[in-house]
Amino acid sequence: MSPLETLIARTEICELKAKYCRLLDTKQWEDFREIFLPDAEIDISDDVPAEIGGGTFVGRDRLVDNTRHFMGPGDSAHHVHGSEITFQDADNASGIWSMYDKVIFPPGKSPVPFQSKTGHGFYHERYTRTADGWKIAALRLQRLAQSTEPLTET
């Protein structure tokens, strides 16, 4: 890839990740689904315990279903920055993003055993360029720290 092609591809991947955060926080589930490859590999075992639906799995449909279940009732803010993007070739790349998030559930609406959560860590991702642009091929969330607030009464 030429330096210009690399810069354009890097910008497109950064825009994809910004879209990820916006679509997740605004709960635009169908558009959120489209930023992933159909067979995307997902590892959210650091974020959601297996006993309540977390873990490692394949497929954007399962990712969106899980995310809708766990995030749907809450208000959230996801922030990413400090991207490290490496290109394997013109159509494949990997990236690491620093992340911070906060999720707050209304009283009586939490699908998890806490009322709110604040955390930080890293997204580790792989990307593939398709005819429709860059898509997330794999996503692993690595939590470094997380704090929760206990459930409140309704």
CATH number of the domain that 47 lies in? 3.10.450.50
Neighbours of 90 (CB within 10 A): 12
Please determine, for residue 44, whether its predicted confidence score (pLDDT) is greater than 90: no
Whether residue 77 lies inside any domain: the answer is yes
- The per-residue pLDDT for 46 is 77
Whether residue 127 lies inside any domain: the answer is yes
pLDDT digits (tens, 9 = 90+) for 27-40: 999 999 999 999 99
Whether residue 97 lies inside any domain: the answer is yes
The domain tally of the chain equals 1
Rg (CA), the chain: 16
Whether residue 154 lies inside any domain: the answer is no
pTM: 0.92
Q: Which domain holds residue 45?
A: 3-149
How many CA within 13 A on the CB side of residue 88? 10
Q: What is the mean pLDDT of residues 76-87?
A: 96
CB 130 within 8 A of CB 105: no
Secondary element (H or E) of residue 78: strand 75-89
- The per-residue pLDDT for 152 is 80
Whether residue 108 lies inside any domain: the answer is yes
